[in-house]
Chains A and B, each alone.
Chain A
Amino acid sequence: MNWVAHELRLLVRSKLALSALTLLLVLSALAVLSGMREVERQQQTIARLEGLQQQELAAQARKYTHGGDAGSAAYYTFHGTWDAPSPTAFLALGLRDAAPYVLRVRALALQAQLHEGESFNPELALAGRFDFAFVLVYLAPLFLIALLYDLVSGERRSGRLSTLLAMPGAGRGLWLRRAGLRTALVFGCLVLPVLAGAPASGTAIEALGIVLLVTAGYLALWSGLALIVATRSGSSAANAMALMGCWAVLTLILPTLANAVLARAVPVHQGVELMLAQRQAVHGAWDLPPEATMEKFFRTHPEWRDTSPLPSGFHWKWYYAFQQLGDESAAPQVAAYRDGLLARQRWTSRLGWLLPGVGVQAALHRQADTDLQAQLAYQDRIAEFHARLRAFYYPYLFNDVRFGPQDFASQPHFSPSSQPAEVPLEQLLGLLLMGAAVLALGVDAAGRVRPSAG
C-alpha cells in the first residue's frame, strides 16, 4: 500500500486536485444538508397541519352534530391526508416541490378534489432542485473530468512520460492506480455527507446500500470514459474538450431531447378531459329526475336498493349518489390519464439503460419515493381513504340514522403508507452493467499508452 501514500502525496501537492475535492465535499454536504432541511420542513408542515386539522375537526364537530344530519356533516368536514417524505427523500426531492404532499378531501366527488395543485413558485421550481441527485448527476462527472483529463497528457507535456513508462510496474497499473485513487476520493467526498446524514434521517441500511451502489456505478462509468479519452494521444485541451462534450451530450442534450420526444410520443391530455367529463356528469344530475339517478346508482350499489324511497325535495343520499356516479362516469378518463403518466414513467426508466444520468435520477427518485409513481401512489391512498369515508357515511344517509358527536368522532382517519419504497433493482442493474462495461473499456485503453504518440 506504499503507492497509495505516494500517489496521495502527489495529489495533495496539486492545488487544483485538492481544491476540487474539497469543493466537491462542500457541495455534497450542502446538498445533503439542504435536502435534510427541506425534509424536516415538510415533516414540520405535516405535523403543524395535523394540529390545525384537529382544531378544525373539533370546531366542525360542535357545529354539525346537533342537527343529527350526516349529510351536512359530510359536506362540511374536510379530512387531512398527507404523504410524509421517506427516509431517503433528502437525497432526491423529485416532484415533492410541485405536487402536493398534503391535501384536504371531503366525501364529495373525488376527481374534482384529487388534482388540486399546491401553491409553489414556478420560477423557483423551474431551476430544479439542488440536492444530492443533482450533485451526483451533473457535478460529480465534472469533478472526475477535472481530475482525470490530463492523467497521461500532463505527464507527456512535462516530459516524464517515457521515464514513467520505462519504470518497472508501470504501464496500465500506474494509470489505473492513479485514476482509481482519484475516483475513490471523489466517491468518498460524495458519499461522506450522505453517510453522515443517513442515520439522522433514519435511512435503512439497504436503501443506503442502493444509493452507494448507484453512486459507484455512475462514477465507474465516468472514470472509465475519462480513462478512454485521457489515454488517447490527444493534448490536454483536446481531452478536456472531448470529455466535456460527452458530459454535455449525456447529461444535458440527450435527456432534454428525450423529454421532447417523449412529450410528443405519449401525450397526456386526459387530465383536463377527466375534469370536464366529471363536471358534466355531476352537474347534469341536478336536471335529471332524482329517481333515475338513484336507479343508476343502485345498479352498481345494490346493497342500498331496499332502503326507504326518496322523499320529495332535497335528500342528501341523492346528492352523494350523483357525486359518486360522477366519479364513476369519469373512470375511463381517469384510467387513460394514469396509463399515459405511467407510460411516460416507464419510458424514462427504459431510457435509464442508455442515459446514465437519467438512470441515476430514476433509481434515486424511486428509492426516495419522490417520483411520478410515488405521486400516483399517494393519490391511490387518498382514493382508498375517500372510499372508506363514503362507506362510513352511506349507512347514516341511506338508513336515515341520526348523526351524533360519537359518530363524528368515529369517522375514518387517513393512514399514510407504511410500505417501504420499492427497490429500483432494474435501474440499478442497468447502471452497474453500463458502468462495468465502460470501465472495462477504460481499463483496456489504459494498457495502450505509448510514450511518443501524437
Chain B
Amino acid sequence: MSVALHIAREEWRLLRRDRVAVLGLVLLLLLTAVATFTAWEQRRTTDTERARHQGQVDHEFETQPDRHPHRMVHYGHFVFRPLNPLAAFDPGVDAYTGHTLFLEGHRQNSANFGDVRQSSLLLRFGQLTPAFVLQVLAPLLLIFVGHAALARERESGTLRVLLAQGVRPRQIVAGKLLALCGVAAAALLPALLALLWIGAATPAPAGLAIAMAAGYGVWLLIWAVGIVGVSAWFGRGRDALVALLALWAVSVVLVPRLAPEIAASVLALPTRFETDIAVARDLAALGDSHDPDDPYFAGFKKKVLAQYGVSRVEDLPVNYKGLLGMEGERLTSALFERYANASFERQAAQLRRVDAFALISPVIALRRLSMAAAGTDLQNYRRFVEQAERHRYRMVQELNRLQAEKLSFAGDRSSRDSRISHAHWHGVADFRYQAAPPAEALRRAAPAAGVLLLWLVVLAGLLAVATRRLGRVTR
C-alpha cells in the first residue's frame, strides 16, 4: 500500500506543477463558492418573499368584512410553496413550477409564476448552483487532470521501468486512482462545507444532507475510476482525453436532454385546455344543482329530507343551500382529484422512462437522488399541490358549512344581502405545508443510489480488466 501511496504522492507533486490542473481546480473551487453563495442567497430571498406573501394573504383573508360565506368561497385563498432548506444546494424543478396556487371554490387552478416563464432563455443554460458545478463541471476537471495518469507513463516508457522494478500493475493503478480521488475530494470539499453550512443554518435533516453528500461522492468516484480505467486502456494520453471528453459530452450533456424528449413524445400530457373541458363535461354529466328536476340532485334532496325527517327543505334545521354547496364541492373535488392524479401518474411514468436512461448516463440517477434528497423533485411538488388541494377542499367545505349552519334557508336571499360575521374567517384559511419525512425522501432516492453503485461496481470491474491488460501489454 505504501507503494501506491508513494505513486499517488508523485502524481500530486506533478499536478501541483501543472498550471492547467491548478488553474482548473482553483476555478472550480471559486465557482462552487460563488454558486453556493448565490444559490443560498436566492433561496433565502425567495423563501422570505413567499413567507411574506403567505403572511399577507393570510392576514387579508382574516380581515375580510362580514360577508356571505359563498363570497368567501370565491374570494379564495393563495398558498405559496415554501422551499426546502437543501434547495439552496439543488433547486431542482423549483424554477419550472409555479410557486403560488390560487384556491377557490368549484375550481382547481394551476400553479402560477414559475421562473422559467419569467426568465429570458438564460435559465435554459442551467442555474449556477453547487449541484450544477458538481454534476457537470467537476467531472470535466477530473478528465483534464487525470486522463494521462497512466497513458503518460506508458507513452514515456516509465511504466515499463516501474514494472521492471517489481512494482505490481495493481499498485500503480491504485496509486493513480488515489491521486485522482484526492483531486475529486478537493473538488467536493467546498460543496460539503456548503452542505454543512446549510445544515447548520437551517433545520435541514442531517440524513438527507449526508445522502446527498454520499451521492456526489460516489458520482466523482465513478469518474475517477472511469478516467483511470480509460487512461490505462489507451496507449496515448491524447486518445484517452478525446475518448473521455466524448464520454462526458454524451453522458452529461447529450443523453440527459435526449431522454426527456423521448419520454415526452412517447407519453404526451393532455393540455390544460382539454382537461378543463373534460372536467366540465364530467361535471355536467353528474348533474345540475340549479335544475330542480335534475335526477341526481333530486335524489340528494330526498335523502337529506329523509335524514332530517322533514318533507320540505324550508323545514330543515340547516340551510339547504349550504348542504347543496357541500355536495357539489364534494363531487367536483373528487373529479379534480381523479384528473390531477391521472396527470401526475403520467408524469411519473414519463420519469420512469427517463430513469431507464440512467443505465447509459449515470448523471440521470445522480440528479434523481440529488433532487429527492433536496426535496425539489416532481414528487415534492406533487406533495405541495395535493396538500394545497386538500386544504382548498377543507376551506371551501368549512365555508359551505358556515352557510348551512349560520344562515337560514329563508334568510339566505342572495350572496350580496345575506352576510355573517367576519369573526368566522379566523383560522379557516391557514395553510401549513408539511414537508415529506426524510425517510420517504431516502426511500425514493434509493433506486437511484443503487444505479450509481452499480455503475461504480461495473467500472471497478473494467478497471481491474484494464489493470491486468496493462501488465500484459507492457511486458
Contact = CB atoms under 8 A, between A and B. Distances in A.
A134 B261 CA distance: 13
Give the secondary structure class of A's interface.
helix
A362 B122 CA distance: 9
Interface string A268-308: 11011001100110010011000000000000000000000
A437 interface: no
Contacts of A340: 118
B273 to A, nearest CB: 5
A38 B271 contact: no
Interface string B9-50: 000000000001000100000010011001001100000010
A372 interface: yes
25 contacts: A34-B261, A38-B265, A115-B112, A117-B114, A122-B93, A124-B263, A124-B350, A127-B257, A129-B257, A134-B257, A238-B20, A242-B20, A252-B126, A253-B31, A255-B126, A259-B123, A259-B125, A259-B127, A263-B119, A276-B53, A280-B60, A313-B416, A340-B118, A358-B122, A371-B120
A150 B116 contact: no
B57 interface: yes
Contacts of A283: 71, 74-75
B159 interface: no
A118 interface: yes
A253 B137 contact: yes
A414 B276 CA distance: 19
Contact of B264 (A102, A121, A244, A263): A121
Contacts of B114: 98, 117, 122
Interface of B: 20, 24, 31, 34-35, 38, 41-42, 49, 53, 56-57, 60, 65, 67, 71, 74-76, 78, 92-93, 96-98, 100, 102, 109-128, 132, 136-137, 140, 144, 147-148, 237-238, 241-242, 245-246, 249, 253-254, 256-261, 263-265, 268-277, 343, 347, 350-351, 354, 371, 377-378, 381, 414-416
A424 B470 CA distance: 55
A125 to B, nearest CB: 5
Interface stretch (A181-189, A222-230, A341-349): A341-349
B124 A142 contact: no
A326 interface: no
A251 interface: yes
A52 B277 contact: yes
B52 to A, nearest CB: 10
A104 B118 contact: no
A180 interface: no
A52 B122 contact: no
A95 interface: yes
A283 B277 CA distance: 26
A80 B246 CA distance: 47
Contact of A256 (B76, B115, B132, B274): B132
B257 A98 contact: no
A122 B416 contact: no
> Nearest 3 A-B pairs (CB), nearest first?
A348-B120, A122-B93, A122-B96
A71 interface: no
Contacts of B268: 41
A372 B242 CA distance: 38
A119 B343 contact: yes
A91 to B, nearest CB: 14
A275 B377 contact: no
Given A119-B110, A126-B92, A248-B140, A56 B277 contact: yes
B448 to A, nearest CB: 13
Interface in A178-201: none
Given A117-B110, A146-B242, A126 B120 contact: no
Contacts of A264: 38, 41-42
A139 interface: yes
A372 B115 CA distance: 12
B122 A255 contact: yes
Give the secondary structure class of B's interface.
helix
Interface in A24-76: 27, 30, 34, 37-38, 41, 45, 48-49, 52, 56
Nearest to B41: A264
B128 A138 contact: no
Given A122-B381, A259-B127, A49 B274 contact: yes
Contacts of A286: 67, 71, 415-416
A287 B67 CA distance: 8
A80 B271 CA distance: 13
A45 to B, nearest CB: 6
A245 B71 CA distance: 61
Given A118-B271, A118-B272, A257 B347 contact: no
A432 interface: no
Contacts of B65: 287
Interface string A122-147: 11111111100010001100100010
Interface of A: 16, 27, 30, 34, 37-38, 41, 45, 48-49, 52, 56, 78, 80, 94-95, 98-100, 102-104, 112, 115-130, 134, 138-139, 142, 146, 150, 235-238, 240-242, 244-245, 248, 251-253, 255-260, 262-264, 268-269, 271-272, 275-276, 279-280, 283, 286-287, 313-314, 340-341, 344-345, 347-348, 351, 357-358, 361-362, 365, 371-372, 375
Contact of A262 (B93, B122, B147): B122
Contact of A237 (B57, B132, B238): B238
A235 B238 CA distance: 9
B147 A117 contact: no
B354 A124 contact: yes
Contact of B96 (A126, A279, A372): A126
A165 to B, nearest CB: 22
A361 B275 CA distance: 33
Contacts of A244: 140, 144, 245
Given A122-B97, A275-B112, A257 B273 contact: no
A256 B272 contact: no
Nearest to B249: A142
Contacts of A38: 265
A119 B269 contact: yes
A94 B137 contact: no
A16 B243 CA distance: 10
Given A150-B238, A251-B125, A138 B259 contact: no
Contacts of A117: 98, 110-112, 114, 117, 272
Contacts of B261: 34, 129-130
Contacts of B414: 313-314
Given A256-B127, A272-B113, A347 B120 contact: yes
B277 A372 contact: no
B233 to A, nearest CB: 16
B273 A95 contact: no
A100 B272 contact: yes
A103 B112 CA distance: 14
Q: Interface centre among B24, B93, B117, B125, by most A CB within 10 Å? A: B125
